[in-house]
């Protein structure tokens, strides 16, 4: 019984890998760089997307794919407000995005008119880490209001991250959050991860993050 369940899950993940590879090929053909932004609810993914848009557009043409468990599209609207070509995916209660959902969203965007796509995953630190969406980098957003033990409790999320953005650092003086302890946990799991410390409220650290993203996107657009 349990063996059967495992093989079904493996088939689903294999099918996902296939669609993810197709998504990546499609993005590469269009010269569009794409990232998968993941975090727990409330860490500030949408705020970071807004700040990224303010820093990089209109020089860069940016699309946003926002996944949410319901029809509530206010996050996609926030992206559109600052100039993103935004698509909202209602996952119908599903707690993570899968590659086929991103494929549908890509079909709704004019890729020839974009340089960068930011996928905002469903707020959840567990299963989104296991689903390849066919993008180029995984960005985990953490915030200092969540507690400094998150890497120790959600190791898989921190292991798959290419980039870690630690948000809300303007609040550090008021919290018990130990940045060294947090980063020690991150480095144990993922020595290579790129770390940016930012405040989406004050704008601190945003230029460094935006510059990294601009460079990455520029390289992927080269023939
Ligand atoms: Mg959001
Ligand atoms: Zn899930």
Does 144 reside within a domain?
A: yes
pLDDT average per 10 residues of sequence, the chain (223 residues) = 70 94 97 97 97 96 96 94 96 95 98 97 96 98 97 97 98 98 98 98 98 92 61
Q: Whose atoms come closest to the Cα of 69: which ligand?
A: 2
Give the span between the Cα atoms of 133 and 145, in whole angstroms. Answer: 28
User: Total structural domains in the chain?
Assistant: 1
What are the φ/ψ torsions at residue 190 (nearest 5 degrees)? -155, 80
Give the span between the Cα atoms of 140 and 212, in whole angstroms. Answer: 15
Q: Compute the distance from residue 95 Cα to the ligand 2 centre, in Å.
A: 4
Does 105 reside within a domain?
A: yes
Q: Compute the distance from residue 55 Cα to the ligand 2 centre, in Å.
A: 31
pLDDT of residue 8: 79
Does 2 reside within a domain?
A: no
pLDDT of residue 163: 98
Q: Compute the distance from residue 128 Cα to the ligand 2 centre, in Å.
A: 6
Q: Whose atoms come closest to the Cα of 157: which ligand?
A: 2
Does 3 reside within a domain?
A: no
Cis peptide preceding 58, ω within 30 of 0: yes
pLDDT of residue 78: 96
> Within 10 A of 208 (CB to CB), how many other CB atoms are there?
12
Does 1 reside within a domain?
A: no
Q: Compute the distance from residue 184 Cα to the ligand 2 centre, in Å.
A: 27
Does 29 reside within a domain?
A: yes
CA separation (Å) from 16 to 4, 38, 99, 166, 212?
A: 19, 18, 6, 29, 29
At 181, which CATH number? 3.40.50.300
Q: Compute the distance from residue 205 Cα to the ligand 1 centre, in Å.
A: 20
pLDDT of residue 124: 96
- Mention every residue, 6+ apart, whose C-beta is less than 8 A from residue 128: 36, 38, 95, 96, 97, 121, 122, 157
Angle of the 45-56 helix axis to the 74-81 helix axis, nearest 10: 20
pLDDT of residue 11: 87
Give the span between the Cα atoms of 121 and 64, in whole angstroms. Answer: 11
pLDDT of residue 53: 97
pLDDT of residue 178: 98
> Within 10 A of 188 (CB to CB), how many other CB atoms are there?
13
Q: Compute the distance from residue 126 Cα to the ligand 2 centre, in Å.
A: 7
Range of the domain at 34: 8-221
Q: Compute the distance from residue 102 Cα to the ligand 2 centre, in Å.
A: 15
pLDDT of residue 201: 98
Which is nearest to 108 in space by CA: 85, 135, 77?
85
Q: Whose atoms come closest to the Cα of 38: which ligand?
A: 1
Contact of 133 with 31, CB cutoff 8 Å: no
pLDDT of residue 7: 78
């Amino acid at each position: 019984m349990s063996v059967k369940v495992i093989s079904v899950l493996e088939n689903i993940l294999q099918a996902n890998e296939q669609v993810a590879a197709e998504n990546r090929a499609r993005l590469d053909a269009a010269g569009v760089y794409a990232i998968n932004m993941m975090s727990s609810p409330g860490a500030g993914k949408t705020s970071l997307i807004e700040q990224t848009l303010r820093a990089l557009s209109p020089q860069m043409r940016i699309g946003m794919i926002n996944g949410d468990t319901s029809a509530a599209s206010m996050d996609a609207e926030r992206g559109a407000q600052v100039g993103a070509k935004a698509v909202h995916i209602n996952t119908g209660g599903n707690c993570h995005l899968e590659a086929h959902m991103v494929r549908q969203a890509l079909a709704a965007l004019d890729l020839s008119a974009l340089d960068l796509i930011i996928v905002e995953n469903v707020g959840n630190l567990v299963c989104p880490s296991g689903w390849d969406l066919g993008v180029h980098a995984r960005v985990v957003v953490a915030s200092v209001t969540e507690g400094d033990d998150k890497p120790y409790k959600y190791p898989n999320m921190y292991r798959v991250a290419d980039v870690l953005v630690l948000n809300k650092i303007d609040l550090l003086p008021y919290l018990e959050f130990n940045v060294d302890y947090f980063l020690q946990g991150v480095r144990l799991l993922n020595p290579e991860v790129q770390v940016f410390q930012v405040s989406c409220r004050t704008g601190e650290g945003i230029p460094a993050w935006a510059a990294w993203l601009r460079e990455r996107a520029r390289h992927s657009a080269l023939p």
